[in-house]
A and B are shown apart, each in its own frame.
Chain A
């Protein structure tokens, strides 16, 4: 019976396994999110308890749970919907750059590179966009292109260093992050005299008022969400995710990138130019993050503050959370970006006198921490699923007798079960 080669069954089996793999990945991500939320709730609870314990009223604990839920956790769960439609609009405009940064990190992950430099590439993208908007007074699509090119150039540096000099891309992109931030701030501020800098607001010019042609159009979305900064940028981000999906999974080039990620030496042996793949992958990653920076600032969500040289934009690091949650799958990144945006938007609606909005960052930090060993959950879930399936099939087989078992079924289960044992 084992000799029967049934191509349909084999194909189905592979598809089945792929499906189960995908499901267990999603399951593992959900476990991470739930742990993050639970810990977030505990932090809220502790803070509420500390606040309430001083007032001398009875039943502090019960009231703390109530406060933690009503003025903190509910906002995080509801996210933008807590204050619809304005909040939803805010969530969309936050998710846009998150998708791009997530794609940036995820695309590099697929090639086996950890792009911690998304923050710097995002910074350069923002710079490119604002530069072309304020100095060259270009329309928005040219500005976006500039943002992409600037980001790509910044991503190329660690890529080249990695490919040619074998410098760990994590270390070099940490360095380029800070170099980029300092350089951008120096140029944008220019001692207070730069044409990109609005001395009255101590930030870069408000593009919507000063250079309206550089703002990405919204086709009525702004009105719909009562939030001027909700533009069609989100559709560009989703389109980018789809394009990256096609690039990585449906083209030869994407296959080469993934081959380098799975085993650099094997890829080299198979005739793939692994140096080229590394550099191109970082260029693409940089371009994506840079595009994200452009989308955010050219939507007029916020202005860049060149006086703040002490911290890199959090967007790049949240991009890591987004990519990890989606297991670097470009289409999954769309959803995970919305999830992180949801939590962060909700964090902004919390009662700030009791709960600092940074609690949202704690939640995403916890999520990244648990994603680092998500594989553990994943394998656990997968073996659980496999066992259950095998049991059901065995039970069905026992019930209906050997004869009614389809010829492929036995071969179908056996190898899977063996693999899980190994």
Chain B
């Protein structure tokens, strides 16, 4: 049971961070399907940062610098999407798919280079990230995630920036007519999304294990976060609840063989499949009243009428 709580909290934070990232991007009007790839790049850079930290570094330093590396690299990688889809008005879905393809390939090449030997497994120490609340071991990402959730909510609904961002996703022409720079707001949306996505990648990879094989990327977690975002109706607090819900399913796959579920003798894949099945079922029920940002996916053209 403790395991269930531990992993549920862990994966809920990952899904929430990445889904919040997707929310910022889509609220500004850019579909960010590249979250999966951004997670891979963020995780990769964060892990490398942990590996190259000097031995004397304190836990706080390790966490701070690796998180900065993950978020920064995620934002830089997302800039590729922003440039293509905002400035060059490219198809956002295709651009995102390209970044997903690229991310795994880049991660493999870099991991093999860092490793020296011909494998894409990186080993690192995750002690700095772990702690306890009572009997439950939690990672530092629980706190980071909750703080960022709060900040996301405030930024999106209580600031001028958030209002403008949302306006660009709903009706960019109207936003432009009152002097909002739509291109700049969309750039901010995608960059924030990249930072949160990169951080989510680190949060997914580091706490549970000490070795990660980058051949597998983040095995669909970024796509699951997209479903969480849709299920959460592009709203931070609902995204949090949706993330908790999905993460229970995701957790079952991890702990199926070590808990009471083992008597069922179901293969792990059944549990891995569950969140994806759940999201299709949920999408079919909620699609009619979906409240997606109206202008998402449509490149903004100043001259368009």
The reply to whether B215 and A178 form a contact with Cβ atoms under 8 Å apart is: no
A310 with B102, Cβ < 8 A, contacts A171-B226, A178-B220 known? no
A165 to B281, CA, bound (A): 11
The reply to whether B284 and A311 form a contact with Cβ atoms under 8 Å apart is: no
A362 with B88, Cβ < 8 A, contacts A116-B97, A320-B97, A368-B98 known? no
Whether a CB of chain B sits under 8 angstroms from the CB of A176 is yes
A309 to B270, CA, bound (A): 11
Residues in A whose Cβ lies below 8 Å from that of B84 = 369, 372-373
Residues in A whose Cβ lies below 8 Å from that of B269 = 182-183, 185-186, 309
Q: How far is the CB of B30 from chain A (nearest CB, A)?
A: 13
Q: How far is the CB of A112 from chain B (nearest CB, A)?
A: 12
The reply to whether B94 and A114 form a contact with Cβ atoms under 8 Å apart is: yes
Whether a CB of chain B sits under 8 angstroms from the CB of A172 is yes
Which residue in A161, A171, A183, A368 is a CB contact (below 8 Å) of B101?
A368
Whether a CB of chain A sits under 8 angstroms from the CB of B227 is yes
The reply to whether A178 and B90 form a contact with Cβ atoms under 8 Å apart is: no
Which residue in A47, A182, A364 is a CB contact (below 8 Å) of B272?
A182
Residues in A whose Cβ lies below 8 Å from that of B112 = 356, 358
Q: How far is the CB of A164 from chain B (nearest CB, A)?
A: 9
The reply to whether A359 and B109 form a contact with Cβ atoms under 8 Å apart is: yes
A172 with B273, Cβ < 8 A, contacts A47-B109, A310-B216, A311-B217 known? no
Residues in B whose Cβ lies below 8 Å from that of A361 = 101-102, 104-105, 108
Q: Of residues B84, B94, B112, B219, which shows the largest number of chain A Cβ atoms within 10 Å of its Cβ?
A: B94
The reply to whether B109 and A364 form a contact with Cβ atoms under 8 Å apart is: no
Residues in B whose Cβ lies below 8 Å from that of A186 = 267, 269-270, 273
Residues in B whose Cβ lies below 8 Å from that of A175 = 223, 227, 276-277, 279-280, 283
Which residue in A161, A185, A369 is a CB contact (below 8 Å) of B280?
A161
Which residue in B93, B118, B270 is a CB contact (below 8 Å) of A353?
B118
Whether a CB of chain B sits under 8 angstroms from the CB of A43 is yes
Among B84-101, those with CB < 8 Å from A are 84-85, 88-91, 93-95, 97-101
Residues in B whose Cβ lies below 8 Å from that of A369 = 80, 84, 95, 98-99, 102
The reply to whether A310 and B270 form a contact with Cβ atoms under 8 Å apart is: no
The reply to whether B113 and A50 form a contact with Cβ atoms under 8 Å apart is: yes
Q: How many residues of chain B get a CB closer than 8 Å to chain A's CBs?
A: 49
A353 to B279, CA, bound (A): 42
Residues in B whose Cβ lies below 8 Å from that of A210 = none
The reply to whether B101 and A317 form a contact with Cβ atoms under 8 Å apart is: yes
Q: How many residues of chain A get a CB closer than 8 Å to chain B's CBs?
A: 46
The reply to whether B94 and A372 form a contact with Cβ atoms under 8 Å apart is: yes
Q: How far is the CB of A171 from chain B (nearest CB, A)?
A: 6
Residues in B whose Cβ lies below 8 Å from that of A368 = 94, 97-98, 101
Whether a CB of chain B sits under 8 angstroms from the CB of A154 is no
A178 with B273, Cβ < 8 A, contacts A171-B227, A372-B91, A372-B95 known? yes
Query: What string of 1s and 0s marks CB contacts (under 8 Å) between A268-299 and chain B?
Result: 00000000000000000000000000000000
Q: How far is the CB of B218 from chain A (nearest CB, A)?
A: 9
Q: How far is the CB of B188 from chain A (nearest CB, A)?
A: 21
A171 with B94, Cβ < 8 A, contacts A165-B288, A368-B101 known? no
Whether a CB of chain A sits under 8 angstroms from the CB of B298 is no
Whether a CB of chain A sits under 8 angstroms from the CB of B287 is yes
Q: How far is the CB of A167 from chain B (nearest CB, A)?
A: 5
B107, closest chain A residue (CB): A358
Whether a CB of chain B sits under 8 angstroms from the CB of A22 is no
Q: Of residues A166, A183, A189, A361, which shows the largest number of chain B Cβ atoms within 10 Å of its Cβ?
A: A361
Whether a CB of chain A sits under 8 angstroms from the CB of B67 is no
Among B254-305, those with CB < 8 Å from A are 265, 267-270, 272-273, 276-277, 279-280, 283-284, 287-288
The reply to whether B216 and A311 form a contact with Cβ atoms under 8 Å apart is: yes
Residues in B whose Cβ lies below 8 Å from that of A371 = 94, 98
A365 with B109, Cβ < 8 A, contacts A175-B227, A179-B277, A311-B217 known? no
Residues in A whose Cβ lies below 8 Å from that of B223 = 174-175, 178
Residues in A whose Cβ lies below 8 Å from that of B100 = 317
4 nearest A-B residue pairs (beta carbon):
A310-B216, A365-B102, A373-B90, A361-B105
10 contacts between A and B (CB under 8 A): A170-B33, A174-B226, A317-B101, A324-B94, A353-B118, A356-B112, A356-B118, A361-B105, A372-B98, A376-B90
Contacts A182-B276, A317-B97 known; 20 new A-B pairs at CB < 8 A: A47-B113, A171-B283, A172-B283, A175-B276, A179-B280, A182-B272, A182-B273, A183-B269, A186-B269, A309-B268, A309-B269, A311-B219, A317-B100, A320-B101, A361-B104, A362-B102, A366-B98, A369-B84, A373-B90, A376-B89
